[in-house]
Amino acid sequence: MTIPKLQSYMLPDVQDMPVNKVNWFFQPERAALLIHDMQDYFVRFWDENCPMIKQVIVNIATLRQYCKEHDIPVYYTAQPGKQPEEDRALLNDMWGPGLTNYPEQQKIVDQLAPDVGDTVLVKWRYSAFHRSPLEKMLKDSGRNQLIITGVYAHIGCMTTATDAFMRDIKPFMVADALADFSREEHLMALRYVAGRSGRVVMTKELSPTLFPDSKEALRALILQLLDGSDEPQDDENLIDYGLDSIRMMNLAARWKRIQGDIDFIMLVKRPTIDAWWKLLSRSRVDKL
């Protein structure tokens, strides 16, 4: 009835990413970060030295730091240590008493402990929106994108993504900042969201090195954004390989925060890796 002892597995990588039905581009000024149920109780079902959950925590911390640097609000969900029978209700049938038997494990894991100014929401059901002010808080602050991280991918995270979609909030499920009972269930959750209720991304897609430090880093970043499996040569037109104007605008916005003279027009005039690297390296030299 309770959650089983969980085993480590290989986190999804770029080649595991499902095909997204939508191509929403990430807008930091419209986004919020959700760190979902990263409480000691839920994390301790993995071994203390589990490399997979350690990496998930690192990836969430990376996203959180990015959000702090870009004035993106950070929300947490956390089940209460005490849950009256009438509040827990059917969860008892499915999972037993759960956290109520271990109230000392209620806190968020130390590596992700909330800062002053972060919002911790009381969690009652799978969706972070259930019996919480999350929707109102997002809309009152002009946010309509929700970055979803945490545990468990195929339960609360997937349900929250779908609930967000039904409230006209765009969910971004971060494939390598989630953990689950198994790799199969993890991938199932990604496929479901990508095809029905949101966009699935990688940590480095949302918080990349904003200014690539080499042509190889630039190439790796661009390959993540292309739809097909073919890889362009450095002098080939990226538009021919599926790089659309929305993604180019997103890149321009990211790079403009580091180098103010870069804009969308400059990128679209010569959409090749060679040209962009020349532009980026020129800008770096000029700035120095």
In the set 21, 71, 118, 123, the catalytic residue is 123
For the chain, what is the HEC assignment? CCCCCCCCCCCCCHHHCCCCCCCCCCCHHHEEEEEECCEHHHHCCCCCCCHHHHHHHHHHHHHHHHHHHCCCCEEEEECCCCCCHHHHCHHHHHHCCHHHHCHHHCCECHHHCCCCCCEEEECCCCCCCCCCCHHHHHHHCCCCEEEEEEECHHHHHHHHHHHHHHCCCEEEEEEEEEECCCHHHHHHHHHHHHHHCCEEECHHHHCCCCCCCCHHHHHHHHHHHCCCCCCCCCCCCHHHHCCCHHHHHHHHHHHHCCCCCCCHHHHHHCCCHHHHHHHHHHHHHHHC
36 tagged catalytic: yes
274 tagged catalytic: no
In the set 5, 13, 21, 36, the catalytic residue is 36
In the set 37, 118, 176, 180, the catalytic residue is 37
82 tagged catalytic: no
- Could you give the residue numbers annotated as active site? 36-37, 123
